[in-house]
Structures are given as structure tokens and as C-alpha cells.
Structure 1
């Protein structure tokens, strides 16, 4: 079984993505999690260019890593400097990492128009930089920047750059599609030449500007590359880097390659690791991301659900549990009997035959009004309980009111009043919030917590508003989806009304009913 080394550059190339800003603490947390997952190499910054990266290399020495090797990143020496006096090379050595990755120009356009030096002088930069680092006992990976564009422009020179790196002692030569514009057929054609000319281990570093980074990386492996560079969740400059979240399971599950410590058992952590990095980077997960996305194994059409119920292979290319994900059955106006039954089974609910058609009719009726249960499992579960007669009313709302907007010199707030009943007892509470929904949320939880202390630990984590018929202007119907969390458990409920406060109130009240149904047995 062919061994493929996984090289992660989330903490270097990934940080160049728009809206990605990682603190030193964030970087250390991601490094530790990727090490636990089994990544072979972690490229963690450019010590000559960034003080934070220099600090990282100091701090990571204090961390016990079990598998991953840390790589520092930099360039070949500057043309005006001697290699032993070059600040960039010196910073790479001071980083004190076992692996150093340096990039050099392999496209004659860059040599002439960016470096403004001769092609021969560029070869000297490559050779001397690698040779010097090797003489300091470093494992050196040479990143042939813009290699594929360089090869298409001047194949003889691009190959000469690789030959120079090989002679200097590079441990691996990484071919970079830096502009991200290559297609798989181009990668295949050029790789077939490179593998005949170069005996050193070959790697691939692809960007995603043509939406082919994953395909290009796999094509390179099939053509002989043994190292794959990329980032988790595909973060990176412009359109991002090759997404390791897709590449790794494709290599292991589809192509049967050995990815070292990333065994079939470790691969079950993939979804958790992907979402962990989204969370640390403060990014919203891509629901449609292959393998790990929330929608990756979601089924909506009745025909699909009916088939999946009989045999999941009919509409799933792998068992979702192999990558730590799960199958989801969506409930919508397109739903059939199979959707309802399978969704109920997923939620641990039993529905007698007599209730199936009434429930299906009610779902279609409510979705026609604007409700959506695809992202609101809690609302669907409450609906099932109510229709089947298994819902226990733990409180009644007598009235609610958003009463006033108060503004002082340095503070403004909204007051909301909620009157509710639990058994024979009534409670009237007032909440102050930044807006009407915030005030209602505070007042509702304050009143309920008198009877159910568990409510004090319930937190609103997300609030989404969707205008369903925008042409109606201020009379438009509004759908509100709210997310709450309690002790790490999260759920969503939905409300619909032409009044945004009423829609929000429906969702808020249902969320409280839901968590009490779960914890107040």
C-alpha cells in the first residue's frame, strides 16, 4: 500500500485567507488537534516575516506532540545577500524546527519581472539555500512556486530548477500550482514528465482558483506524488487551498492509500476536527462541504428517503459514520411518508399509523405558510408530540407585551413583560434588552426559572430572520429560526408571522417547551 504524507499548512497559508485571524493561542490549539488527528507535517508560519509566528515556534517547543513534525516556512536567500548572512535563512534556523520548507521561483516570468535577476542567478539562490540548510541538519522541502505555470511557459528552465534543488539535497520537491489555474489533465501531463526526470520525492501544493485543487492533488498522487499539501476546510488566499478534509478520505477510502497515523479509526474524527477548526477560526461551517458538512448526508426527496431507508448505498457514497458525520432526513413540503417515519426514527419517536397522514398533512400545511423544519428538528419533534397526544404542557403563556423603548443619555433599552402560568401559579416578569426579542427572551426565561431553575442555564446562541415575500414590503411574512444551548446540547425552533416579534416569540416559546420536555421528565 503506497504511503502518502499529509502536510498541513492551515497555520501558514490558511492564515492568508480573508477573515481568518488566528491568535497565538488559536494556533497552538489547532496544532495540537491536528497532531492528535495524525497529520504528518504542520507548517506553522514564516518566522522572518511575522513576530507572532516566531513566538509560536518558541511556544510549540513546550508542547508534547505525538506524531506531527513542525515545519518553518521561508524563501530562498535574497539575491543581494550571502546565504550565511541572509536574515530569512537565519530566522529559519532560529525557529529550531526539524523541517524547513523554502520556496523558490520556477517560472522565468517571476525571475525576470519580480526578482529582476538572471535565470542562472536564480538557480544559485535555490542551490545555496537548500545546501546551507542541509548542512545545518534540517529536513528540507523545496516548494517550486508557480511550477506548473513555469513549465507551460519554459519547460526546460522549470525542470532545471527542480534538478538544481535535487542536486542541493532537497528531501522533497513540492510542485505548486500557486495561481490555482491548472486542470487535472494538465497536472497529469506535466507530472508524467517530472517523475521521469526527478528521483527525489515529489509533493503537490494546489490552490483552488479553478475549483480543481482537490482533483489536481489527487491527480498528482495518482501520477507519483507522495506528499500532499493543503489546509483544513480549504481556507487560504483568494479561493483557498486544496481542502484536506476532502483529500484525506478520498485517499484512504476511495484510493486505498496509507496516510500513516490517519487510520480508518482516526478518520472517524474528521467531522469533529473540521468543525473544531471552523470554531477556532470563528468561521461558519460550510454545510455543503463534502464528507463533513451538515448537508453532506442529508436527504429530502421522498423517493430518496424511501430508497435510503431500504439501503443507504442507494444515495450515499460512503457510510457517514466513517468520517464522523451522520445521516439526516429532512422534513419539508416535498416529504412523503418515508421522510416522516425515518425522521421520527432518527429522533427516537414512534408514530402509529393513524397519525402519519394527519402529521404529513400538517407539515405540508405549515410549510405552505412559511414554516421550515429542515433546520428546526426541535419544532418538528414538538409537532409530532402534539399531534400524537404525547405533549405535556409545562407552562401556559397568558400574555406578553413589548411595552416601551427607553433612552437615557448613555444607554437605551427595550422593556418586555411576560405573564405565564405553571399549574395554579402565575408569574409576571419584566425584561430589559437591547431589542424587543432580547427583552422577551430575558423576561420569558426569568419567569420560567422561578418554577424550572434549569432555564437559567439556557442560552440563546443564534437568531436568524428570513423575509419570505420581500415584495410585500413591511407587510412581508417573516420566518425566524432560533438556536439555544444547554450544557453543550443545541437545538433549533422556528416561528412564522407577518409580525417579526410574533414569529420570534413563537420560536422562543417552543424552545423553552422543548428543553423542559427533555430535562423535566
Structure 2
């Protein structure tokens, strides 16, 4: 395996705040951009590209605030992105180049056309002027004390069309003093083997330090990036979670995970790799995009196992079905319990809960049978660990006394002909603390009213109930039966401010399905109150 020391011998370069921000649906505020940069710096990337000062007001403000001290970086160098001087203009007279200097960023990345067709059709100039634009701008910035990288835009397409033109742009960048020339698969159309051949050929022909920047239009951005590294690239440009225009960019977390665990390249400071999962999810939160549960290395399902065959092997040795130890990247293994589950799956899941089913074969077998029977009727325990834990405890005879017993409930819906807001009213009759309690409450829907009535009845008798809140409520209509006769599955996510848990209910009536999930939520909390160490 390759082994490169930390330092300047290999660059992990993040462009989330510029290229990643081009993803549809992402709009970072300046405060967001500062927060993203801090997370990336804490992870230990070498370079954080902050945006294009002078072109976008928010980016200009970001660099101004960074220069004023709002951004203190410990690991990363801040990078300003921009273009070479314009055609026919002296570099010192170009306001966009001046904005790069005014950003006070110690590193500047310039984008340069390296495809002859783009030079002639988009820039409307010739190759000589294009090369002069690159050389002049790089030399000017280097002379002002900046470190300069050059992104050779459309390089692979341009190299295939006219290799001399493409290589000429790289030569001009290096002649001007650029540290790295970055080969960009701007349209994202490359495949790994062909891209690797081109990178190796460029490295051999030029001897330049080469970087790689890949879009994901073929779904190969991560593979292309790794192939480029194996072909000689020592600078990788990525975005958090693969954010970017169209299909996105090479995912920073997958690229780093592979470089470290597969190629043996310690490209982050000590402890950085274990932060991959946390940082991935934190940056998804800032972008207001739900984390990809199936994302390589950092997704919540990246090390989740569903098939009973897998669980049987994992019970013997987790490495048999995990390509790495999940904790290496700050993730964890999960066993999903479904109708596919066997005894090994339930036993492993029990261990997660602190429940030992290994020594109780009857209880284990009973739990397996109940899970399969319930799943056949529409229940799903994949996302409802709390309900599954209650099922296991019930099979073991360790569920204990419930916090309350239901006598009955009733839910009414008041629909008025004058078009006023709908009002739901629920009444519950429960036995709690040796008393029969009746309570009524209104809500903006039947489930809300039922939850409110139950809380009204229980709160004087159950001290911890005030801390429990309904965090999320999901409904799915199961299609085994047609139309309004279909079975409804309800997932309820609850929280007490310290932890979250999810319960499930299934019934043809949505209110009853909701009741079953609400009841399990409170029973599970009561069990944890009795045995907080579980």
C-alpha cells in the first residue's frame, strides 16, 4: 500500500463552499459558510475554498469576515477562487484579480480554459492569448505573495480533442509559478480506466504536480478521483457529501475514507478520520438536506445488516460482513430486524439493547416468531427499535408493570358547515396509580387530541411525563388492501431531551395505529426509568 506522510506531500482540498454550493436547493448564508469552514478545518482538510470574492457579494463578505478574525483556522488554508485576467486586459487592471488579492486569502485557485473549443468559442480568443492570460495572472498573484493552484477546466475533453493545447495551458500555469495544476473532469463524463491513463500520461510527459477535480455525472466521481491518485495525482478536490451542480462532485468523505482505509494514506491529522460521520451529518444539517442514509462510510445504513445470513456470520466475527471497523470513521454497525431476521439477528439486536437472549432459547425463538408474524401483517421494526425492545422484554417476562392501563378512548371530529377550523376532541379512561382517571382534551387533529388527553390524565401520576415530547410522526398506507380499507402503519419518534426512541403501531384504523405507537412510546420510557443503565 502507498504510504504518504502528512504535510504538503498530499492535498485534501474542499470546495463545498463554492462548487458544492451550486447544488440545487443549497443557499448558504455567510454565517453558514463560516460554520461549514470551521467544521472542515476541525476535520483536518488542508484547504477550504471559500468562494469567489468580487463575483458574489456573500463570498466577498465571507472573506472580509474571515480576515477580520471571524474565522480562525488551525489546519486548513483558506482559498479564494477566481478567473484569470480577461482577454486583452492587463492583469493589474483587472478588478476580479484585484478582488482575489483584497480577499487576503493566502491561497488562490484560478480557473483556466484548457479545451481549445472553449478558448475559441467561449473566450473568443486564440491559444497564445489564453496561455498569456494564465501565465500573467499566476505570476502576478505569486509576486504578491499568494500560493496559486490552477484548475484546468474541461481538461480531459480538451486533452482528447487537442492534447497540445491542453498541455500548453498547464505549462503556462507552471511557468507562472503555480504549485499545482488540477485536471478537471468538468462535464463529469470520464470513466476510471481512461481517466487514469490520461493522468499517468500527463504526469509522465510534464513532471508537474497534478491534482484532480471530478464531477459525478457518470456516477464515477469518487472512483475517478481514486484512480487519478493511483495514477500520480497528489491533490484531490472534493465536496462534503458530494454536493455540487447536476449530479454533484466527488464526495469528500468517501474519497478520504478510501484513501485512508484502502490505500493506507494518512491524509488527515490524527483523530480526523473518526470525525468523518459526525462532520458529514453536521454539514448536511447546515445545508438543510437530509443525510443520505446509504452514503458510503458515513451513512446510517452504511454498516446496517438485514439478512439473517449476514447476522449469523457477524455473530461469529463482525469483519466477515463489514469491509472496515465502522468506528474507524465514527460510524457504527446496526442489525436490522425484519421478516428476514433469524435467531442470530435477534440475539445481536438484543445485545444492542443490553438484553441477553443467548441463554434463553425459548424466549429467543418466541421473539423470532412474533417478529415474523407481525411483519407479515404490516409491522416494521427496522426503524422502531423501542417497540422491538419491548417485544423482547415481553418474551423474557421482564416487561414489568405498565405505567397505565387503558380502559377506553374516544375521538370526535367537529366539522362545521361554516368552514371554521376543524376541531378534534378525545376522551381517555385509564387506570394509573391505583386510580381510574378520565380526561378530555382538544387538538388540531385526532392523534394530537388523543395525545393531549392521555397526557392530561397521566401527568399528575407520572413524574417523568413532562419531559417527553413527540418529535416526529410518520404515516404510511400499506397497499395490501384497496383504497380506504388499507392498513396504516404509524411511526412515532419521541424524545426526553437526552435521547430519542421510535415506536410503531399498525391497524386498519389510523387512530388505533397511532394509539399503539403512542402507548409503546410511554411504556418504553417507563422501562428505561426503572432500568436506566439499560
Task: Give the TM-score normalised by the residue count of structure 2.
Answer: 0.93
CA deviation after TM superposition for structure 1 residue 197, in Å:
3.0
Answer whether contact 2:20 2:245 (CA < 8 A) is retained: yes
1:8 counterpart (8, 11, 14): 14
Structure 1 residue ranges without an equivalent (≥5): none
Say if 1:427 and 1:132 are closer, same or farther in 2 by CA, change over 3 A. Answer: farther
- The aligned runs of 1:169-188 (5 Å cut-off) are 169-188=177-196
Q: What 5-or-longer segments of structure 2 have no aligned partner?
A: none
Further displaced range: 441-450 or 371-380: 441-450
Structure 1 residues 66 and 364: CA distance shift in structure 2, 3 A: same
Structure 2 residue matching 1:210: 3-state secondary structure? coil
Match of 1:519 in 2: 529
Aligned CA distance change for structure 1 residues 97 and 430 (closer, same or farther; 3 Å): farther
The answer as to 2:394 corresponding to 1:394 is: no
Farther off after superposition, 267-276 or 197-206: 197-206
Could you give the per-residue CA deviations for residues 357-381 of structure 1, whole angstroms, max 9, x where no partner exists? 2111111110010001111111100
2:261 corresponds in structure 1 to 253
Find the partner of 1:463 among 469, 473, 496.
473
471-480 vs 222-231, which deviates more?
Answer: 471-480
Aligned position for 2:90: 82
Distance 1:453 1:15, change over 3 A: farther
Alignment correspondent of 2:54: 48
Match of 1:339 among 330, 341, 345: 345
Q: Deviations over 1:64-109 (max 9, x none)?
A: 2211111111111222533222221121111111111110111112
Quick check: 1:500 aligned with 2:506? no
Residue 319 (structure 2) aligns with: 313
Describe the shift of the 1:109–1:456 C-alpha distance in structure 2 as closer, same or farther (beyond 3 A): farther
User: Of 278, 293, 297, which aligns to 2:299?
Assistant: 293
Change in 2 beyond 3 A, CA 1:306/1:88: same
| Root-mean-square deviation (Å) | 1.9
Comparing 106-115 with 134-143, greater Cα deviation is found at 106-115
- Counterpart pick for 2:375 among 367, 371, 376: 367
Indicate how the Cα distance of structure 1 residues 405 and 39 shifts in structure 2: closer, same or farther if over 3 A, else same.
farther
- Structure 2 CA distance for partners of 1:120 and 1:434, relative to 1, 3 Å: farther
Deviations 1:416-454 (A, max 9, x none): 333333122344444443332233333333433332343
Deviations 1:108-165 (A, max 9, x none): 1212222222222221221121111111111111011111111111111011111111
Residue 206 (structure 1) aligned with residue 214 (structure 2): yes
1:133 to 124, 135, 141: 141
Match of 2:245 in 1: 237
Match of 2:385 among 363, 377, 382: 377
- The change in CA–CA distance for 1:83 and 1:366 in structure 2 (over 3 A counts) is same
Alpha-carbon distance in structure 2 between the residues aligned to 1:421 and 1:504: 20
Corresponding residue of 1:420? 430
**Aligned mates of 1:446, 1:124 — CA distance in 2:** 77
Residue 386 of structure 1 aligns to a residue in which SS? helix
8 Å CA contact 1:217, 1:228 repeated in 2: yes
CA contact (8 A) 1:4 1:258 kept: no
Q: Distance in 1 between matches of 2:443 and 2:98?
A: 56
Pick the aligned partner of 1:280 from 258, 282, 286. Answer: 286
1:17 and 2:28 matched: no
Whether 1:433 aligns to 2:443 is: yes
Alpha-carbon distance between aligned partners in 2 of 1:245 and 1:211, rounded to the nearest angstrom: 15
Which of these residues, 269, 274, 285, is aligned with residue 268 of structure 1? 274
How many Å separate the matches in 2 of 1:14 and 1:259? Answer: 21
State the Cα deviation string for residues 329-363 of structure 1 (Å, max 9, x = none).
11111111111111111211123222122111111
Q: CA deviation at 1:412?
A: 5.0
CA displacement, residues 202-234 of structure 1 (integer Å, 9 cap, x when unaligned): 111111110100011011111111111101111
Distance 2:97 2:425 in 1: 62
The 1:380–1:60 alpha-carbon spacing in structure 2 relative to 1, beyond 3 Å, is: same
Corresponding residue of 1:223: 231
Q: Secondary structure at the match of 1:400?
A: strand
What does the per-residue CA deviation read over 1:357-416, in whole Å, with 9 as the maximum and x for residues that have no partner? 211111111001000111111110011112222113011223333322467888554333
Distance 1:445 1:105, change over 3 A: farther
Cα distance, 1:431–1:91 mapped onto 2, change above 3 Å:
farther
Structure 1 distance, partners of 2:111, 2:283, is 26
